[in-house]
Structure 1
């Protein structure tokens, strides 16, 4: 972590969640979480009900798991109060002390640490404030700040005191698009040389891809996969991982293997590998891979009715109704005008289609790699 010239403890920190489970009101919120998180930034991505906040609270010591251990630097901290841990937590909400100035908000955790002298505190507050772009706001109170400035203050307070574990629970979720983009870039630079474990949770797959850090995909309280986020995006091992990392949402269409081809809604394309005839599959298609009015050789042709065109200025999201009341969304560049109710044809190159086993959701083939159905 940023240490302001004060070296304390090991520079390389490890956080281990060993078989962590949490059950509340008869429901399982975390199910046998097993993670070893190294020094530096790790991103946790998943939908709203994935269990991200619960995982963060367990890692912080705010919630004791029903089973499993939380180990930091080889020391079992399960059940140890958060006050006795070297941890800082940044919440989604802008949590600052309303009666204190920005300066005093940032200084507050340092004043609780007897190792910091007055001059150390002043230097550290100004250093972190400069880093977060709020050096000119130190005399203001939170009510006088914008939402982005309040969140920068909250993050600066968490960064002020060196800790082994820094937890950020969707810290940019309540900010507008421009502020999110700016602060995300600042945080990526800031955490590049972090000393300590930085765990950052988000529901936005684009945020995880932007950070380009080791990533844990969480869903329904379980670790669905972990590893390099770019590799997971290109070769999602399961349908659940592909869906989590797709924004706009992944298009899903049913298919069946017959005589070496995959049939889908009255059209077909060659099966990527030899697969058993009659095997049911699910086709995953990212919206930006759908084209209208143009196609390459062998493209999947999907006759459709135009239902809605959402124009954002830089892009057009075209909602289509296919055969069998199936829906498809195309992400088209720029402003394009369409008339609802008109007929059109959507095209998808077979190389851009993910093929998943319908029963288990396992990946069978991608545009760049193939997996043996019987492997």
Structure 2
């Protein structure tokens, strides 16, 4: 059972919210929509779920054209980042609600609810009401409802965004297993590149209502096909700057240059955009990070066991992300070292060339 989008668009007046999009989303793995807030992830989910009508194009589920079909007839489930549970109902009744609407026998409802509750460790809470639950338990209730319904497609719109870090990590680890083997197409929207990598599957990178690249998540991360895709799939933001290629050398300016090897060395002489993720810009020289660059530290951040430094080099701001705690001083110059083996090179039109 696949979910196929054929050249769908969404326009409101003169504004295009979703540009022409064609995708085939398959069951058996997560299908991730990755992009910043406002990139069109929720708009695309609403079209796939039937909550909004497409302006043009078609949507097929298991080969059936469902373009004009209501969400109820599509047999889908939708889990938002906000806890959408009925406050006057118990956890059991919340999970059972779509099954009762479908007029399933009581015995089947009982079995499905209890099975879903067991998967999400909710059985002791089946008689409680949502206000008696923690945020994580409420979101697990919403997920249990989606599992019990046995939908043909499940849409998860940033479902972990409002949970604390520990709960987010716990549920993120569980999600692929929760939907494994159920035969449903699972679509998961997130604004966090790290989350997409953890979930695996396939990822559609989105920006300005357009899918810039779609494919296996790890492959897209390693080989973004455009500078736009590279920027979407990087947090902190990917570093990028103009570089002059001459012979086997790349010159960034500010006295920064390095010898090119591999495909980059075969490029025609000229001007390109070089991009390198912050984790390949180190505050200390290593065997691989050896291209020196000096910049003025503007912002420093310490997150767990990682240190981030934003530094100014000429007219550009660069970012370094490194393990450990490093003694940066805002306003002072600091030497950093780039790993040239992990640089991407893009043509003037933004296409990846090496």
- Structure 1's unaligned 5+ residue stretches are 1-12, 366-375
Looking at structure 2, the residues matched to 339 and 39 of structure 1 have their Cα atoms a distance apart, in angstroms, of: 50
1:291 aligns to 2:282 (yes or no): yes
From 307, 316, 322, the equivalent of 1:326 is 316
Looking at structure 2, the residues matched to 25 and 136 of structure 1 have their Cα atoms a distance apart, in angstroms, of: 50
Q: Is the 8 A contact 2:247 2:265 kept in 1?
A: no
Matching residue of 1:61? 50
Residues 244 and 297 (structure 1), Cα distance of their counterparts in 2 relative to 1, 3 Å cut: closer
1:98 aligns to 2:90 (yes or no): no
Q: Is the 8 A contact 1:309 1:337 kept in 2?
A: no
Residues 298 and 131 (structure 1), Cα distance of their counterparts in 2 relative to 1, 3 Å cut: closer
User: What is the CA-CA distance between 1:233 and the residue it aligns to?
Assistant: 0.9
User: What is the CA-CA distance between 1:295 and the residue it aligns to?
Assistant: 4.3
Match of 1:200, SS state, is strand
User: What is the CA-CA distance between 1:172 and the residue it aligns to?
Assistant: 0.8
User: What is the CA-CA distance between 1:31 and the residue it aligns to?
Assistant: 1.2
Matching residue of 2:35? 46
Residues 244 and 157 (structure 1), Cα distance of their counterparts in 2 relative to 1, 3 Å cut: same
Looking at structure 1, the residues matched to 327 and 258 of structure 2 have their Cα atoms a distance apart, in angstroms, of: 30
Aligned residue-pair number: 349
Looking at structure 2, the residues matched to 45 and 313 of structure 1 have their Cα atoms a distance apart, in angstroms, of: 24
Match of 1:126, SS state, is helix
- Structure 2's unaligned 5+ residue stretches are none
Matching residue of 1:341? 331
Matching residue of 2:101? 112
Looking at structure 1, the residues matched to 329 and 40 of structure 2 have their Cα atoms a distance apart, in angstroms, of: 42
1:127 aligns to 2:115 (yes or no): yes
Q: Is the 8 A contact 2:147 2:179 kept in 1?
A: no
Q: Which runs of 4+ in 1 moved over 6 A?
A: none
Match of 1:130, SS state, is helix
Matching residue of 2:343? 353
From 293, 297, 302, the equivalent of 2:293 is 302
Looking at structure 1, the residues matched to 80 and 324 of structure 2 have their Cα atoms a distance apart, in angstroms, of: 36
User: How big is each residue's C-alpha offset from its partner over 1:325-350, in whole Å with a ceiling of 9 and x where there is no partner?
Assistant: 32111112122222223322111121
Match of 2:258, SS state, is strand
Match of 2:169, SS state, is helix
Which TM-score applies when normalising by structure 1? 0.89
Match of 2:231, SS state, is helix
Aligned counterparts, 1:177-196, within 5 A? 177-196=165-184
Matching residue of 1:276? 268
Looking at structure 1, the residues matched to 297 and 190 of structure 2 have their Cα atoms a distance apart, in angstroms, of: 33
From 216, 225, 229, the equivalent of 1:228 is 216
Which TM-score applies when normalising by structure 2? 0.94
Matching residue of 1:247? 235
Looking at structure 1, the residues matched to 119 and 277 of structure 2 have their Cα atoms a distance apart, in angstroms, of: 37
User: How big is each residue's C-alpha offset from its partner over 1:58-111, in whole Å with a ceiling of 9 and x where there is no partner?
Assistant: 111111101000111111111111122211111121111111111110011111
Q: Is the 8 A contact 1:269 1:298 kept in 2?
A: no
Q: Is the 8 A contact 2:2 2:24 kept in 1?
A: yes
User: What is the CA-CA distance between 1:209 and the residue it aligns to?
Assistant: 0.7
User: What is the CA-CA distance between 1:160 and the residue it aligns to?
Assistant: 1.1
Q: Is the 8 A contact 1:18 1:33 kept in 2?
A: yes
User: What is the CA-CA distance between 1:296 and the residue it aligns to?
Assistant: 4.0
Q: Is the 8 A contact 1:306 1:341 kept in 2?
A: yes
Residues 194 and 249 (structure 1), Cα distance of their counterparts in 2 relative to 1, 3 Å cut: farther
User: What is the CA-CA distance between 1:156 and the residue it aligns to?
Assistant: 1.0
User: What is the CA-CA distance between 1:298 and the residue it aligns to?
Assistant: 8.8
1:153 aligns to 2:141 (yes or no): yes
User: What is the CA-CA distance between 1:52 and the residue it aligns to?
Assistant: 1.0
Looking at structure 2, the residues matched to 88 and 74 of structure 1 have their Cα atoms a distance apart, in angstroms, of: 19
Q: Is the 8 A contact 2:281 2:289 kept in 1?
A: no
Match of 2:203, SS state, is strand
